[in-house]
A = this chain, B = another copy of it.
Amino acid sequence: MNNTNKAISIPDMRSPCPIANTLDILGDKWTLLVIRDLFAGKSTYSEFQSSPEKIPTNILANRLKRLTENGIILKTPYQERPVRYAYRLTDKGLSLGPVLREMANWGVNNIAATKAQIKMNL
């Protein structure tokens, strides 16, 4: 059991609606792309930066911070000398698989010129 068993709490909820509250955490253009990259096997800051959408580095830093605070990802050093960090999904993060799967599915069915490049276990 890792640290994903505690629920996220949102200080000033705009409503009790689960969709609204989920959007307060994931509802922007970048957050779910970082999570997509994690599902695709990426784990370091520079790997996230190298994705084709070219996320600005300040936004990447901000999203990694927010996702960590919300218990969706975990930051750990994977080597010393020099110390290098890996981010990975917690159970809470892994449980976003179905959300990503349905979004990807909707995209391929409804947006022209979209192509799933790699097969992910969502």
Q: Which of A13, A103, A113 has the most CB of B within 10 A?
A: A103
A66 CB–B CB distance under 8 Å: no
Interface size for A (C-beta < 8 A) is: 51
Say yes or no: A32 contacts B23, CB within 8 Å. Answer: yes
How many chain copies?
2
Contacts of A29 in B (CB 8 A): 23-24, 27-28
A15 to B100, CA, bound (A): 16
- In the bound complex, residues from chain B placing their C-beta under 8 Å from that of A51 are 15
Complex: chain B residue closest to A115, CB-CB: B16
A108 close to B (CB within 8 Å): yes
Residue of B nearest to A101 (CB): B102
